[in-house]
Structure 1
């Protein structure tokens, strides 16, 4: 065997998977079962006591899901991963390990509208408080740090604007504060950006988007970088203190550089219960096999569409980091040299009404609330995904009244441009 480390495309097809030992099936089987038989009483006790790895109950783990977890961890360069039911579920499970009532976390203002809503409203019922910072002003993160700060949360490529976040600069702030940096890598995928290489401690994804890639299955995942010392300063008792439900085990001490992934599984997924269906895991695994091919095609298409829109008389501005004129272009060259992603926004001279009108006139683009599909998608964020925000907050998040978001698919770019041209002309 060669000592060569497999390349990205090879990992996307093979990581975590082996032919089924019983049947020889080459594709990963769907283990559609709720529970698993123990060898004997001692085996059962060792599994429940975290003294051995294995399958107990699909709410906690499943062999199909395990292949997905190992594959995404390999693609992201992490030590371990945990698959859950959705991207939102991933965010809840991550923060449950870090936060106590009254604690704070800092989040970039430029985020997916659902995350803004979750952080602002839903998390209040847990006593978790979000403090907002401007990803274009790194010092705003520094000013937001307090003794109650437990984490910093950003998106590598921000939704909806497609802006590139300076991960390394914010990682420096997190290191100085002694807190982990959490990066939502959904819009980039590890094909474009690997946040762990730039200082992230935890990576989350909505698997529903580019990793699955076909708009057919919900899922989320948490990747542990294995880079953070959870025992320092007593800030994270879920990981550093003895766990009474596991006979006093200290997760950091016992599991080392994948302790966070274990905590998310045995303290988060076990008790909160947002388990990923093995069927969805199978569908997402199948999607990941073509991730490099899809992502490159989508980035190339997105650049062509952005260039067309930038020259159209009805368009006021285009926010796409792949354009040399864009304010995030240099960050895109640093963090995402293979392409600036396939999601971006543009503003129409006709404002809110023009945005609403445009989405109704497009024929090839599907008007729906998703991104990362093989099909090209369109939405007017101000009237949909970001409608819960006031106008000032919409503008700060990159979803002003005149903004339209596109998620570019794998169709022929000429057909996408023709559809936009007829809708803008109408």
Structure 2
């Protein structure tokens, strides 16, 4: 699409980044299933390798199908650029890679997906990095955790699994005052419900595996760059502000300006880490995004109706959906996610751990899987699966206590889902 009118979300989710194929006129973005690309001549090849010209070299770095997806997601999020990679976890490492170094740390919300907590509390130590976990609602705690070696603040817009909604603007203000970027995982909300960059986020990450693709067919991740952070304002981010030896002393911030982080993600991150998204996965995600707004509207509609029903059920201790009037995050969700609080929440059962196991096993329409954001309704008992590696205190903080199940509401008929939940609750309490 060319510069001109300002298009609405529903139009952009179909057209942004996509153009008819110049060789064939194909309207749908082709799957460019190729490893390498022919250079026009030696001078053209040299210009590409020197980052003097933008183009395609090798599909570990750039691919035309993936490029359309990157432009589309960046447009929907309100960013200047994006880098797609092989998974959501890969996206988190890709986001941190240009910022961190041995001995450096990040300040992280303690309300995160269990795999992210493990990645930040355990795995990143192998890089010499560390994480400080804080209550992301406590601005004083965030400020106290930041020190001279802190390089970023990280949170989720709508936390998986507990449905906590972050006050992104308040967290961004704390990060800005410290001269640090705020990274927001927007997987659960998607840009249809929340655009973290508008609330002050520097970078946005997604597991595209979830709501963006929406059909449970691929794994993928993306890092979206707001283009608003001045990487050269201090000496904290030398990978972006100082000369890069591999490119003859080129300075990314000086050369590429607002696109410095995006170019670094491709030219250094994908080049050396190799966390590449394959073009067929990009194609599936592009097709999923074409219906994103329609799906999210139905997810929200169903989640609202079902959570209200569950909240009144005698076997239920509590429901965490931020769309409920009873939620402590209801008012915040209305500001951060004005189109709805998503399709993900947890339910605490009075029957405890064993009751949760019986409940999950009794469901018929809901699929028991380690995924969320599908068109199908999904369920999992986090304490025994995705969050089992955490301590009981960490499980509770993450919203995954032993008597809690995570529910990802799909786009089926809501009354059918309610009937399935009802019969499973009766069996769990038999």
Q: Shorter-chain TM-score category?
A: over 0.9
Q: Which residue number corresponds to residue 86 of structure 2?
A: 85
Give the Å deviation of 1:119: 0.6
Over 3 Å counting, the alpha-carbon distance change for 1:4 and 1:270 in structure 2 is: same
Q: Which residue number corresponds to residue 420 of structure 1?
A: 421
Distance 1:397 1:171 in 2: 21
Distance 1:422 1:282 in 2: 39
Q: Which residue number corresponds to residue 120 of structure 1?
A: 121
Q: Which residue number corresponds to residue 332 of structure 1?
A: 333
Which 5+ residue runs of structure 2 have no aligned equivalent?
Answer: none
Over 3 Å counting, the alpha-carbon distance change for 1:276 and 1:3 in structure 2 is: closer
Give the Å deviation of 1:2: 9.6
Give the Å deviation of 1:330: 0.6
* Cα deviation 1:82-127 (Å, max 9, x = unaligned): 1000010011111110001000100000001110011111100000
Q: Which residue number corresponds to residue 49 of structure 2?
A: 48
Q: Which moved more, 1:201-210 or 1:1-10?
A: 1-10
Give the Å deviation of 1:4: 2.5
Give the Å deviation of 1:138: 2.1
Give the Å deviation of 1:139: 1.6
Q: Which residue number corresponds to residue 367 of structure 1?
A: 368
Q: Which residue number corresponds to residue 394 of structure 1?
A: 395
5 Å-filtered alignment, 1:16-415, equals 16-415=17-416
Distance 2:70 2:3 in 1: 25
Secondary structure, in 3 states, of the residue corresponding to 1:415? helix
Distance 1:101 1:164 in 2: 31
Which 5+ residue runs of structure 1 have no aligned equivalent?
Answer: none
Secondary structure, in 3 states, of the residue corresponding to 1:317? strand
Q: Which moved more, 1:131-140 or 1:270-279?
A: 131-140
* Cα deviation 1:293-340 (Å, max 9, x = unaligned): 000100110011100100000000110100011000011111112111
Distance 1:217 1:24 in 2: 27
* Cα deviation 1:337-386 (Å, max 9, x = unaligned): 21111000010001111111110000000000000000000000000000
Q: Which moved more, 1:88-97 or 1:285-294?
A: 88-97
Secondary structure, in 3 states, of the residue corresponding to 1:107? strand
Secondary structure, in 3 states, of the residue corresponding to 2:133? strand
* Cα deviation 1:178-228 (Å, max 9, x = unaligned): 000000000000000000000000000000000000000110001000010
Runs of 4+ in 1 over 6 A off after TM superposition: none
Secondary structure, in 3 states, of the residue corresponding to 1:393? helix
Give the Å deviation of 1:390: 1.1
CA RMSD of aligned residues (A): 0.9
Distance 2:155 2:61 in 1: 27
